[in-house]
Structure 1
């Protein structure tokens, strides 16, 4: 097997239409029916989507695993977790907050809410620990073994708040083999990325450890034309540490301790006033991503500190394995930004760029947060039966501060409100698979979840003269039974067919941002039924792999966030129903030795189904396409697509290596596409993102045995700049993707 073949990226999942396309595209003489057995083969992909290690082809659900070279490449140039967006079928990530607080969407299901208390239907699980708060989900990726994207409801094994799916991250674990790596890169805008890890035995056969570290930096690179300050904003400094100890005193017992820390000192999302051409979704002529014109920029900053730890213990009873995972997470943040994206106001000139009805400058913070979780499960196999049973407990205590500032008075505080929420959840679950025959397996599972939230909010200072509010409270409770049933049939040793039906559940959510409103809103619990079927196949003597699926889901009481609008007030609403259907496809092939392709494609059709559902549209300047609602000042959104739900997502990579000396020269390129999206629940011409296509390249030399590597790389090499999101309560304000970057990188392994 070539060195390049052993490093290939794993990409797998599901859909029927594109399967034929890839099979045709990869058809070369080497794949002829009478071809000799292959000297090389695609490596096996092992996943833990069902909380046990198994071949991805044997898992009866749609998922993608990504790691190795592709994960390293897309993280080049200091990319945060959003680099995964559109690199996996049916997955999109965006943020109006900045490098932290990603907002994930799978199969069109997500949450546009920017509140620090936002509930999301896509769960993040990092080293077997669920990360509930959206700021926790922004921890950087480093020393990662594999990322798994599990699509569709994951309510049985992973629990509540997973009706859309799970992003599962697994770091490299300690072992009794000494080794590690060091990696350094420099790129455009003074971007620096340093990371490394070292691990190995501490006590032979008993104790091993691994220490990993990351440092990322970017210089301020955006000029402020209002203050005439060069390189005024856009930079960041962040670092992260992880230490792990694996204790194995006996063959039956092991314990893995994990401690980690993350620190970010940077800038919030850069909002830019009136960058959209009215009546279109085009950027204004002459738009320059390296320039802003803001009067509150000097007070803008973003700080995050996160720390946590976990202890995972396993005991093997000679068949059944008992696992306990105890974890604690803590995060604080404060982010201060110029929300209107301009300077002055129409009534307080000078002002601009364009029409600024009023200034907006605010900050949000988590002064206190604590999350405790405990999972105990027993997993085993007896004859044809494989099973997992367990219990889960979760407690979170979070306090949120919201501030508003009078920009025209030098940033004086003129608004202050608080939120405080305690969440207690517990669950019992079980999952089993049974082999009816050597080729036919049936399975299923149940989970009972119970959730309680105790919430209060209060406004002390109103920026619009509304005065203080009394303490407002909400105490929603809910329970639900989620489940899945599935079956897998092996056509032969290389091809599995599967079908799955699953129910997901999201606990009630609370929105209590009181700066511009006097009430809190509570969204009722959300449930989802999903149906999917597909196949997973290795082809041409394991020189190609294709996974494909089709799916349909229907959501009852879909939780939606009405963001902004003319009242500049967030509130939660429930849509009576929503539905989605489509397909997903992943493929990988090595048509000739040292040339490897991967491809992913998805189609997602989503629709809100609630004839009486209305929301308030933009506050100024946009062209609304929806009909007027029954309530004055609102529009009816029945039949609209879900926000940030592209119909099409596609991605391809290609890598080729040429042996030279004891190593090889290599070339790698990756491209990700998503079709147009609507940023809000209502439809408008201006707040609709055009299609996005971003590509990258990496060229370099790799020594034998991966001992060292030197490469040149580029990200967003076509320099396509376009809207990623908008602010709709004030003017045609938006934010855009990062411009093109180039850099060099060196890496060594030992």
Structure 2
């Protein structure tokens, strides 16, 4: 693997040093990002943002949504389920959920619908692009955007009839197929698009006790529909609907950290979501327009697993084996309403120098949990209800101080109301007011360089720990706040042949929320705690080079130093969990002959701590991926492979005693990342 990485590095270096540059100016900025109230070209965005286009998502079957976005610098993930579904940005983010309700650190928006709590329902078919925004997004997204926000955009309806058909076969009995079609329904009035996608796989685990190879299977079905109603010249209404039916198995951990399970009661990891968003854009006059957005989602999920990872009779009774099974059934409902007034060019204030945005926001979220816990001979049932109401007002101005210097100020104030009650007769209200925003300067040095500095304040609400065995002082935890400074430059060289986005960041966390657990006789009490203070700093770099029309080379690099400034004596000065010191993605695309393209990249990550309760770490890893693509007219074929060297790496780790034959001595147990996968994808477009 080291030689592979060295080879790719040498290829990149040689191309960067070549004296032959693409003579004509390359058009590299068609990408539009809606990261800050107004759509902007990527080169003009003053956030640390990565955009993943549809052409970069060629493996939609075996590579999950969460794994895909780790192509962005300083974005990590945690599994502990059938697929990864917990995201960390710059080391901030959740790693799991059991009894305790969580408020996400990373917001996820798909087609105007909040999927922050339900990312398992996001599949990548018919997706136009993914925007990964790093750092607090307090003004635009509020409480769920302290670490960052992921925006997923599907292909929109078009006036012309368009369609896409796709079929994939791969190892591990992977079969996926989908179709998307759209166009004009009523001339000059109504456009539509619909897509249907089905993805299935046996998964990567074998179960020797049950004689099966599909107990950790993937079974996904997704339907997306969109309508664009051109009501008048001044009013457009967009409707999006998403139906996600995920019925995956969960059988991923073993006592010997192998790919062969002995579990007699494999679990499930399922999600059934129906959701819609309704957005209207009304051009009031030449000075301003009004955007009104309403969304609603209803999700039922099951997360269950065999706790002992073995079968009855595998161990002698003298070793005190146990037979436990855990099941978490959740129903989540969420309604969001956002209304904002946005100025246009003629609506700028202060002598036409200042653009402005003002808005109001409302969210109603509820989560009902039923936990069924089997312990040897009996079932225990625990239930809770968690309701939150969030009301916010926000605004932002972008003022031209000079022709080249822009001043930005954004503010957001939220009222957060929480009602919690459970079957142990415990109730709690954690109401509070929250404030965030940003202040920044942008300097356009010339057409090929833009410099920016932004100081932002993010926040994450406090909450309630559900386990009643905790001391009274630990039943609640406090709100976390984050001050973050981003300083960066977007630049282009050699007639746009070389494009660079470079960002340095520094952050201070106060009342830093973190997850810990207490182990007691094979029972684990997980809970959220507050560390007094934490610090992080680092950089994110993205470099794209086009030496000629046929070759594209790129590097994405993230460096991160994070530590607890004040916590327990053991943890002070140590890095929080899921905070690798480095992360990279180096690769190239090469078009040859008339219809062929070859892609290859190496993505790697440094080691990180699995938990804030112990000092077990992952090993660094590097994965080699590649594809051959052939396009003839409207037909395409892609032969792809991921992790071609079949490198073993870990995506979740626990440290405790679970093996009776070793007298329950604590050990590191890990869930393996995706092994070597390969397949063939055929497409047809019109």
Partner in structure 2 of residue 147 of structure 1: 130
Counterpart Cα distance in 2 of 1:729 and 1:403: 22
Counterpart Cα distance in 1 of 2:16 and 2:229: 46
Partner in structure 2 of residue 512 of structure 1: 466
Which of 347, 353, 365 is 1:384 aligned to?
353
Which of 655, 675, 679 is 2:589 aligned to?
655
The answer (yes or no) to whether the contact 1:665–1:700 under 8 Å persists in 2 is: yes
Partner in structure 1 of residue 17 of structure 2: 27
The answer (yes or no) to whether the contact 1:86–1:673 under 8 Å persists in 2 is: no
Which of 38, 44, 48 is 1:52 aligned to?
38
2:332 is the alignment partner of 1:340: no
Which of 522, 534, 538 is 1:578 aligned to?
534
Which of 599, 602, 607 is 1:676 aligned to?
607
Q: For residues 665-717 of structure 1, what are the alpha-carbon distances to aligned partners after superposition, in whole Å with 9 as ceiling and x for unaligned? A: 11111221110011100343xx311012222111131124xx11112111111
Structure 2 vs 1, CA of residues 57 and 41 (structure 1 numbering), >3 Å: closer, same or farther?
closer
Which of 139, 164, 180 is 2:147 aligned to?
164
Partner in structure 2 of residue 14 of structure 1: none
Indicate the structure whose relative CO is greater, using CA pairs within 8 Å and at least 6 residues apart.
1
* Deviation (angstroms), 1:639: 1.6
Partner in structure 2 of residue 491 of structure 1: 445
Structure 2 vs 1, CA of residues 475 and 47 (structure 1 numbering), >3 Å: closer, same or farther?
same
Q: How does 1:419-430 map to 2 (within 5 A)?
A: 419-430=384-395
RMSD over aligned Cα, in angstroms? 2.2
Which of 320, 325, 328 is 1:361 aligned to?
325
Partner in structure 2 of residue 241 of structure 1: 223
* Deviation (angstroms), 1:564: 5.3
Structure 2 vs 1, CA of residues 593 and 655 (structure 1 numbering), >3 Å: closer, same or farther?
same
Q: How does 1:60-79 map to 2 (within 5 A)?
A: 60-70=46-56, 72-73=57-58, 75-79=59-63
**What TM-score comes out, normalization by structure 1 length?**
0.84
Q: Which segment is superposed worse, 641-650 or 120-129?
A: 120-129
Counterpart Cα distance in 1 of 2:89 and 2:129: 19
Partner in structure 2 of residue 482 of structure 1: 436
Q: How does 1:289-328 map to 2 (within 5 A)?
A: 289=259, 291-297=260-266, 300-318=267-285, 319-328=287-296
2:588 is the alignment partner of 1:602: no
Counterpart Cα distance in 2 of 1:84 and 1:478: 35
Which of 103, 110, 119 is 1:119 aligned to?
103
Partner in structure 2 of residue 88 of structure 1: 72
Partner in structure 2 of residue 588 of structure 1: 544
Counterpart Cα distance in 2 of 1:98 and 1:524: 31
2:622 is the alignment partner of 1:693: yes
The answer (yes or no) to whether the contact 2:269–2:301 under 8 Å persists in 1 is: yes
**What TM-score comes out, normalization by structure 2 length?**
0.91
2:412 is the alignment partner of 1:447: yes
Count of matched residue pairs: 656
The answer (yes or no) to whether the contact 1:274–1:734 under 8 Å persists in 2 is: no
Q: For residues 542-574 of structure 1, what are the alpha-carbon distances to aligned partners after superposition, in whole Å with 9 as ceiling and x for unaligned? A: 112101011110010011111354451011111
* Deviation (angstroms), 1:518: 8.0
2:649 is the alignment partner of 1:722: yes
The answer (yes or no) to whether the contact 1:77–1:193 under 8 Å persists in 2 is: yes
Q: Secondary structure at the match of 2:682?
A: strand
Counterpart Cα distance in 1 of 2:31 and 2:270: 38
The unaligned stretches of length 5 or more in structure 1 are 1-20, 276-286, 459-469, 614-628, 630-635
Partner in structure 2 of residue 527 of structure 1: 481
Q: Secondary structure at the match of 2:442?
A: strand
* Deviation (angstroms), 1:99: 2.7
